[in-house]
Structure 1
Amino acid sequence: MRRRFLFIVLVLAGCAGGPVPRDWELGSLAALNAFKSHYLKGDTRPAQLEFERALAELRSTGRGDLLARAELIRCAVRAASLEFDACPGFEKLRADAGADELAYYEFLSGRAQRTASDDPLARLVYAGVQFRSGNITPENISASIDIASAQAWRRPLLAWLGVQEKRAEAAGDREALERIRRRIALVAGKS
């Protein structure tokens, strides 16, 4: 009786959780999350391997819209680190992209507006797009540095510190320049 009760409880608990994610969904999500983590920490090779693993999982579905979304994630992560390109992986899949993906691509390209969210990565992406468009403020640069630092994301932290360094140099602020360069050396492991 007790075993049967336990079995029923387990079955009901499984049913209450909704549909079980498919293997490719779990695999691609895990790989994309690992890609983001490695890339933002500055670990390029593992990031590339995880991104390729995500694409392999998504290719197995035959759905170009999912591949397009993954390519947009890559472009967004790069934008957070102030690395801009025309998102060539997305461009190849543009015909299969949905309206949401096309709108996000326009945002990443600086041709559309979007509101920032509270998510640290989304905030860095938003700031990266502002930087690319020439609409970044010193306060937003400092906020981006704080976000990247709080998350221990080495790649965007170095990029944003580099922006701050150039601004201090242009302003002739030697004290700020020295402080920023010390911080860059710490992050880069040169101190």
Structure 2
Amino acid sequence: MSSLTNKLRLFAILLLMALGACSSGPKAPDWQMEAKSSMDRALGAYLEGNTRVEAMEFGRVRSELSSTGRADLMARAELLRCAGRVASLVLEPCAGFELLRQDAPAAERAYADYLEGRLQPQDLALLPASQRAAAAAGADVAAVKGIADPLSQLVAAAVIFRSGRASPALLQQAVDTASSQGWRRPLLAWLGVQLQVAEKGGDADAVARLRRRIALTQNTITGTKP
């Protein structure tokens, strides 16, 4: 399944927009189509490292969703945006969601807590099914590998990393997932963690290899950046 399909599927899950579910059904409202397209472009741009395009496209998402007056849809969009950041190891509060927390459904509040590593045990059942096993105590690489969606994999890996339980195998799984999707931003973040581990362990060969790969990913070997 392509990364585009995965991102669209995740967006559909989070925003509950069953667009085109029935060919004989009514045409989806324009705001749904526009929000869906802009969200996909925003998420893709962020993961590929293009902050300017991400900000522009997410501004369009907010504009379209605000026309509905629905806090639940806006909250889910903010959470998806934050999921991309968590997947890239930008481990900070989901500020956009917090402005909406008071009016957000319980499942969205639980997911926000999960992203921040403070999910309460009683709220585990409120998470998307793909994240429940990874959110359980003691979860590691096996639980992450069991997640089909690449972005959800990286989010789960980041939550485990945030808890201080990330094994070398988990770090490698995250690197492999980001690399397979061509997601430069999370790839650099996870390679950076591997580099720190190698430096701390005094593994000179691994340090040199990781620095070369980071330079390649940054496209600095030829002296140019994307």
TM-score of the superposed pair, with normalisation by structure 2: 0.76
Distance (whole Å) between structure 2 residues aligned to residue 17 and residue 95 of structure 1: 38
2:183 match: 153
2:63 match: 56
Number of equivalenced pairs: 178
2:156 match: 126
Please state whether the residue corresponding to 2:133 is helix, strand or coil. coil
Distance (whole Å) between structure 2 residues aligned to residue 111 and residue 86 of structure 1: 11
Q: Which amino acid aligns with 2:148?
A: D
Distance (whole Å) between structure 2 residues aligned to residue 18 and residue 160 of structure 1: 44
Tell me how far 1:19 sits from its aligned partner: 3.4
2:37 match: 30
2:224 match: none
1:11 match: none
RMSD: 1.5
Tell me how far 1:18 sits from its aligned partner: 2.8
2:169 match: 139
Work out the percentage of aligned pairs sharing the same amino acid.
Answer: 51
- Map Cα deviations across residues 99-143 of structure 1 (whole Å, 9 max, x no partner): 221111121111225235210000001111111111211101000
Please state whether the residue corresponding to 1:34 is helix, strand or coil. helix
Structure of higher CA gyration radius: 1
* 5+ long unaligned stretches in structure 2: 1-21, 125-131, 135-146, 222-226
Please state whether the residue corresponding to 1:115 is helix, strand or coil. helix
Matched, 1:115 2:133: yes
1:171 match: 201
1:3 match: none
Distance (whole Å) between structure 2 residues aligned to residue 134 and residue 25 of structure 1: 39
2:129 match: none
Distance (whole Å) between structure 1 residues aligned to residue 215 and residue 118 of structure 2: 35
* 5+ long unaligned stretches in structure 1: 1-14
Aligned equivalent of 1:68, options 71, 75, 92: 75
Of stretches 132-141 and 106-115 in structure 1, the one that deviates more from structure 2 is 106-115
Distance (whole Å) between structure 2 residues aligned to residue 79 and residue 118 of structure 1: 18
2:19 match: none
Tell me how far 1:190 sits from its aligned partner: 1.0
Distance (whole Å) between structure 1 residues aligned to residue 91 and residue 26 of structure 2: 38
1:92 match: 99
Q: 1:84 to 1:17 in 2, by over 3 A?
A: farther
More helix by share: 1
1:6 match: none
- Map Cα deviations across residues 30-68 of structure 1 (whole Å, 9 max, x no partner): 111101100000001001101111000000111111111
Please state whether the residue corresponding to 2:173 is helix, strand or coil. helix
Distance (whole Å) between structure 2 residues aligned to residue 16 and residue 63 of structure 1: 26
Distance (whole Å) between structure 1 residues aligned to residue 48 and residue 84 of structure 2: 11
Q: 1:115 to 1:21 in 2, by over 3 A?
A: farther
